[in-house]
Structure 1
């Protein structure tokens, strides 16, 4: 091989590296234009002594759509009839006493809260400009009267509140130099996953990634690889967990989910796939995990 051939190979290699860097810069530029995510915590206080049932996410779901019908019927219809991944999640009433035989006793002036997350800037803006102003000072939820005492999307004011742009998540989690090999996930409300014969109450790695990936690719302009959930079958394991099964009543149906924590660990997973998984695990704070996330199930976050 001549010196000229060696120099030519070096030049070609430098050109390939420059093109690769250019693609990364262009991709970062695209991600800078991605949309807003919001986690809005609404604080309540009971206006009476009362009792309510556990798993009242459907009641929050009813309040959500009832107000949309008043302020924007067209948007209410779109949200209700939309195929595919929904652009929001709803929690049940949180911070209440532990249920006894499925029932919760609430004393007057008892504080509680519920959470709304929105996965698009359109819906985040609509909630703040239309839905929140229409929220009365007193509401009836799950058969109980509550006073609305405030709301926030500031994580400094509430651990389940938050706001971020897709660009922020991507720059921190996808393009970060150090990619973790494990994640400890907290399932704050029961999580269940679609299976061939019904709902499964255990968060298998590929089931988790499939649910996160479906939502990410539905709303983020830059898609992640469709085969990511398949790769997690051989590249991610559950290394530890402390979970318990919890039944949740949805009308006439009873869905069994799980609450607690689970630790995922990667085994021979390509760094690029680890980066994508890291991004999705943090995105789960907004999009939730598994089924019925619009009716109170699957609230998820990473624990440090």
Structure 2
């Protein structure tokens, strides 16, 4: 029998000059970048939009089709990005980087084509992450998680319980609102949705989630919630912290679903939890790591921006003749985001670039929103 390939431990530094960076069969990879600021830069509240845009521009430079797929895909995206974690200055309301300090950023790929694209990118990696007003030097690239395959995850050893730590705000969409709680059905639905999309090992979603409802229970949790401005528009109420799930009750499908329960728990650090994971939300670690985890800091200015966006969104929805449906909600969130950011001093050029809309459209939204506020 051939020997099993040696495990690559998280934290192992990549040799970017090596012929192959990970085993050829790899379908999931997690990359951790150590970034250094040479000055005490100030991050703007929605800086994760900049990380998202910079990453897609990097992929576009050598594979426009892959970049377009990652940007425009209607279904779940086959990648996710974290925000920055590390030591920040707390002397101002903004998120202040400290000169000479190291900050971590994670990029995860969830399919073979994306993993191949990441390998190609690393071979021509630039020296700096060109984040707006805060260029960060890339000093080291290591594995955030062991490179693996869906088949290996499907065969993980079940345990007695499953603990997950949510290191960035995490939320779900439920009936048009945010659900800032790690309710088992929502948590495992978010993993299974991605699993069924990317693993080529489809599972009966309804049957498994009904089993989760019946058999997965909370054993322990330590959670906090906060509202932040996340993604291109709108605000999100999310939770951070840790939870331990256990199993109770027996069903005919217990063995099959119990295996899937642990498999999806091990999938979580790669795929993230909940929505807007490509903008830093829902970053997840396997195990209870509250003492060791470095939470991704949220600027006070971002919380203030989120509160203002939420306030304006509610106002604009109430002003519209049609208050139901996604179009009214999306329109209200866009107006609110544009106006709230203008109130904070952001330029229309920057807002248009972040939202991916023409400058003239952003200008029109700003005028309409101000006119609506003045009544």
Taking structure 1 as the reference length, what is the TM-score of the superposition?
0.79
RCO (CA 8 Å, sep 6+): is it higher in 1 or 2?
Answer: 1
Instruction: Give the direction of change, closer, same or farther, for the CA distance of 1:225–1:166 in structure 2 (3 Å limit).
Output: same
The answer to whether the 8 Å contact 2:59/2:117 transfers is no
- Paired position in structure 2 for 1:133: 123
- Paired position in structure 2 for 1:5: none
CA distance in 1, matches of 2:103, 2:97: 10
Instruction: Give the direction of change, closer, same or farther, for the CA distance of 1:142–1:271 in structure 2 (3 Å limit).
Output: farther
| Shift in Å, 1:100 | 6.7
- Tell me, yes or no, if structure 1 residue 193 matches structure 2 residue 177: no
- Paired position in structure 2 for 1:156: none
Spell out the pairing of 1:52-201 with structure 2 (5 A cutoff).
52-53=43-44, 56-97=47-88, 103-129=94-120, 131-153=121-143, 160-171=144-155, 173=156, 176=157, 179-201=158-180
Any idea what SS the aligned residue of 1:187 has?
strand
The answer to whether the 8 Å contact 1:293/1:299 transfers is yes
CA distance in 1, matches of 2:240, 2:93: 16
| Shift in Å, 1:98 | 6.8
Any idea what SS the aligned residue of 1:240 has?
strand
Deviations 1:126-176 (A, max 9, x none): 1111x22343212321531211112112xxxxxx333112222122x2xx4
Instruction: Give the direction of change, closer, same or farther, for the CA distance of 1:139–1:105 in structure 2 (3 Å limit).
Output: same
| Shift in Å, 1:195 | 0.6
Any idea what SS the aligned residue of 1:147 has?
strand
Q: Which of the two has higher C-alpha Rg?
A: 1
Q: How large is the Cα RMSD of the aligned pairs?
A: 2.1
CA distance in 2, matches of 1:34, 1:276: 22
CA distance in 2, matches of 1:98, 1:299: 22
CA distance in 2, matches of 1:274, 1:125: 32
The answer to whether the 8 Å contact 1:36/1:163 transfers is yes
Instruction: Give the direction of change, closer, same or farther, for the CA distance of 1:189–1:55 in structure 2 (3 Å limit).
Output: farther
- Tell me, yes or no, if structure 1 residue 215 matches structure 2 residue 199: no
Instruction: Give the direction of change, closer, same or farther, for the CA distance of 1:134–1:34 in structure 2 (3 Å limit).
Output: closer
- Paired position in structure 2 for 1:256: 237
Range 255-264 or range 268-277, more displaced: 268-277
Instruction: Give the direction of change, closer, same or farther, for the CA distance of 1:192–1:292 in structure 2 (3 Å limit).
Output: same
- Paired position in structure 1 for 2:10: none
The answer to whether the 8 Å contact 2:70/2:77 transfers is yes
Taking structure 2 as the reference length, what is the TM-score of the superposition?
0.65
The answer to whether the 8 Å contact 1:35/1:121 transfers is yes
Choose from 232, 242, 254 the match for 2:212: 232
The answer to whether the 8 Å contact 1:39/1:115 transfers is yes
Identify the structure with the greater strand proportion.
1
- Tell me, yes or no, if structure 1 residue 268 matches structure 2 residue 249: yes
Long gaps (5+) in structure 1: 1-32, 154-159
Instruction: Give the direction of change, closer, same or farther, for the CA distance of 1:243–1:278 in structure 2 (3 Å limit).
Output: same
| Shift in Å, 1:102 | 5.3
Deviations 1:85-143 (A, max 9, x none): 111111011223276775222221111121111011111111111x2234321232153
| Shift in Å, 1:53 | 4.1
The answer to whether the 8 Å contact 1:89/1:294 transfers is yes
Instruction: Give the direction of change, closer, same or farther, for the CA distance of 1:191–1:282 in structure 2 (3 Å limit).
Output: same
Any idea what SS the aligned residue of 2:178 has?
strand
- Paired position in structure 1 for 2:286: 302
- Paired position in structure 1 for 2:30: 39
| Shift in Å, 1:252 | 4.4
Range 222-231 or range 76-85, more displaced: 222-231
Any idea what SS the aligned residue of 1:161 has?
strand
